[in-house]
């Protein structure tokens, strides 16, 4: 079974600085997707960024980027120019395979609570 591990229960960063959240996963699959989701106090799950395992290029979305190391099974999230609105729980998640659209579940890590210091 796939497992996702986030070893940092809490992180903090000064506003405008850069922070990196760690995620490792375990799978025997070669095709999969990885995600970072953000959950602010409103509890709404918000997709931050997504990475396809078959792509070597790291995904980037504005101030958010990932460092995807497939051999090491590592998927870290870098947040640049941190803003107060970035404060939230961040969950790393795994989806098996690139087929069976609509039928595959997400497996989540334990989460990292990010605090932004003004």
Does 50 help bind other proteins (rule: CB under 8 A)? yes
Q: Which of 77, 111, 114, 116 lies at the binding interface for other proteins (CB under 8 A)?
A: 111
106 interacts with other proteins by CB under 8 A = yes
Does the footprint of other proteins cover residue 105 (CB under 8 A)? yes
Residue listed under structure tokens 């990196």: 20
**Closer to other proteins by Cβ: residue 74 or 104:** 104
Q: Is 41 a residue that touches other proteins (CB under 8 A)? A: no
Cβ contacts of 116 within 8 Å, gap of 6 or more: 12, 13, 14, 15, 82, 83, 84, 86, 87
Distance in Å, CB of 95 to other proteins, minimum: 6
């Amino acid at each position: 079974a796939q497992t996702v591990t986030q070893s940092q229960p809490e992180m903090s960063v000064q506003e405008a600085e850069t922070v990196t959240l760690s995620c490792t996963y375990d799978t025997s699959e070669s095709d999969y997707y990885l995600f970072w989701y953000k959950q602010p106090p409103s509890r709404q799950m918000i997709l931050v960024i997504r990475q396809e395992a078959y792509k070597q290029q790291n995904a980037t979305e504005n101030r958010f980027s990932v460092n995807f190391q497939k051999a090491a099974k590592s998927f870290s999230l870098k947040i640049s120019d941190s803003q107060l609105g970035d404060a939230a729980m961040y969950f790393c998640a795994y989806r098996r395979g690139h087929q069976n659209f609509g039928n595959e579940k997400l497996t989540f890590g334990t989460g990292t609570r990010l605090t932004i210091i003004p």
